[in-house]
Structure 1
Amino acid sequence: MAVTTARGEKGSFMRPSSIAQSIHEQIYERIMSLEIPPGARITIDGLARELDVSQTPVREALTRLEREGLVRKAHMIGYSAAPQLTRKEFEDLYKFRLMLEPESARQACLRLTPETLARIEAAAADMEEGEPPVDRNSRYSRFARSDAHLHDEILKVADNDIVRQAINDQHVHLHIFRLMFHSRVTQEALEEHERLLEAFRAGDAEAAYEAMYDHISRSRSRLTAAFE
């Protein structure tokens, strides 16, 4: 099945430097909201026509989405949306996270400075505020990316490059948020992040470990419904 997408007003003016980013965001939002279903073909020429741009920014956007793990490219076939996680991949991913991220939260707490705490708090605030969303699709998609940014800031402070790279290579947050398009996923995550921030502010490394473990466990429970 071939899928193309359109967004914005035809013929609207965008600065050249912003076109590729705009096209990337539009395709990204539709993949995250499942408007472009997992496994669906994505055609460069079709997207270019509907978005009223040349093929170049579309190709650039799809190349970036491929790096992010949301798009796949096959020889002689072209681009398609990445398949959804299987139940086993989902379970393996969460076991992987529970092995690494709670300990990373503990290590981050032990290494916190006023500056790095401020960075983590800014990333958390961006999840609640951020840019004004265009619609429900963009709100959810931005939340997924902001969530990934917050967790990455914690991994930066933990200062284990191997762990950070291993988690980032899995594109964890983009794939799990694509499983279920629901406001409960975002609201409960915000509450759990606040408990984690409280542990960081208190300098309580054990509480940070427990808060991250609880957050990931609850996330797994919320998203298991996608397989039922």
Structure 2
Amino acid sequence: MASTKVTTTDQGSTAIRRSNGLVEDVYEAIFGQLMALKIAPGARITVDNLVKEFNVSQTPIREALGRLEGEGLVVKQHLVGYHAAPQITRRRFDELYELRLLLEPAAAAKAAAAMDDEKLAALREAAGVMARRTDTDERLHYSTFARQDALFHDRIMAFAGNQLIREMLSFQHTHFHIFRLMFHWRVTEEALDEHQALLDAFSAHDPEAAEKAMRVHIEHSRDRLLPAFAET
């Protein structure tokens, strides 16, 4: 998928360079604002304001918002309109990480046992996009990282061969919600080393190392994001 380019004009509006389909570009632009907390959790999202900001009609805006609603990032209320989804609670956060620790390390071990060159290349591709910086906009980089991180973990679940586990984790939209907790360099930079440890284990076809690397990664991710609750 070609990357979406978003720039800010002198008048403060957001111009979309249409490198994909229009709806896709609008979706990515709004997604980026949600991930980087430019649109705060719980904030009202006004279609007319987005029309002015992106200089597009209401149709792609509404289609993009519908997709975001399906991902749990936007809430639509009858006769009220759209709001950004509220931030996850501490209890929900703990439950999500408990679920991940129960499922993902074992799945990583299975993925390592089934790993081949094609699968490893797909994981390295996602990891490479996360490490790459093609834009000076930190918020855009952060939203791109969130998207690729979700893809990286989803591919591991796919390669593990248990579709039910994959669907269960995907349905929770875990990565999108945890990335909205905090906009901070540690969330991305420290994760890169942990992803590399996973790639090393997969490259070595070492299930035990993959299970350990995934457990460490999830535990560290949890610890990085916990301070977000102390700030609320």
TM, length-normalised to structure 1: 0.91
Native 8 Å contact 2:15 2:54 kept in 1: no
Structure 1's 156 and 49: CA in aligned 2 closer, same or farther, altered over 3 A? same
Q: In structure 1, the residue corresponding to 2:67 is in which secondary structure?
A: helix
Deviations 1:153-204 (CA, angstroms, capped at 9, x unpaired)? 1111001110000000011111111101000111110001111111111111
Counterpart in the other structure of 1:118: 121
Q: In structure 2, the residue corresponding to 1:57 is in which secondary structure?
A: helix
For residues 94 and 79 of structure 1, the distance between their equivalents in structure 2, rounded to whole angstroms, comes to 28
Native 8 Å contact 2:18 2:25 kept in 1: no
Counterpart in the other structure of 2:103: 100
For residues 141 and 228 of structure 2, the distance between their equivalents in structure 1, rounded to whole angstroms, comes to 20
Counterpart in the other structure of 1:109: 112
Does residue 222 (structure 1) correspond to residue 224 (structure 2)? The answer is yes
Shift, 1:17, TM fit: 6.1
Counterpart in the other structure of 1:161: 163
Counterpart in the other structure of 1:139: 141
Report the AA paired with residue 62 of structure 2: R
Report the AA paired with residue 165 of structure 2: V
Structure 1's 12 and 38: CA in aligned 2 closer, same or farther, altered over 3 A? closer
Structure-to-structure mapping, 1:38-77, within 5 angstroms: 38-77=41-80
135, 143, 150: which is aligned to 1:148?
150
Native 8 Å contact 1:7 1:26 kept in 2: no
> Structure 1 regions of 5+ residues with no counterpart?
1-5
Structure 1's 189 and 96: CA in aligned 2 closer, same or farther, altered over 3 A? same
For residues 19 and 124 of structure 2, the distance between their equivalents in structure 1, rounded to whole angstroms, comes to 33
For residues 120 and 181 of structure 1, the distance between their equivalents in structure 2, rounded to whole angstroms, comes to 24
Report the AA paired with residue 176 of structure 2: L
Does residue 36 (structure 1) correspond to residue 49 (structure 2)? The answer is no
Q: In structure 1, the residue corresponding to 2:93 is in which secondary structure?
A: helix
Q: In structure 1, the residue corresponding to 2:88 is in which secondary structure?
A: coil
Shift, 1:38, TM fit: 0.6
Taking only the aligned residue pairs, the percentage that are identical comes to: 49
Structure 1's 128 and 14: CA in aligned 2 closer, same or farther, altered over 3 A? closer
Does residue 27 (structure 1) correspond to residue 18 (structure 2)? The answer is no
Shift, 1:129, TM fit: 1.7
For residues 15 and 183 of structure 1, the distance between their equivalents in structure 2, rounded to whole angstroms, comes to 28
For residues 212 and 224 of structure 2, the distance between their equivalents in structure 1, rounded to whole angstroms, comes to 18
Q: In structure 1, the residue corresponding to 2:197 is in which secondary structure?
A: helix
Aligned residue pairs: how many? 222
> Structure 2 regions of 5+ residues with no counterpart?
1-5
Structure 1's 16 and 202: CA in aligned 2 closer, same or farther, altered over 3 A? closer
Shift, 1:124, TM fit: 1.3
Structure 1 runs (4+) deviating above 2 angstroms are 6-19
Shift, 1:50, TM fit: 2.7
Native 8 Å contact 2:75 2:82 kept in 1: yes
TM, length-normalised to structure 2: 0.90
For residues 16 and 185 of structure 2, the distance between their equivalents in structure 1, rounded to whole angstroms, comes to 33
Deviations 1:36-85 (CA, angstroms, capped at 9, x unpaired)? 11111111122112322110111011011111211111112111000001
For residues 109 and 19 of structure 2, the distance between their equivalents in structure 1, rounded to whole angstroms, comes to 44
Native 8 Å contact 2:45 2:83 kept in 1: yes
What's the RMSD between the two structures over aligned residues? 2.0
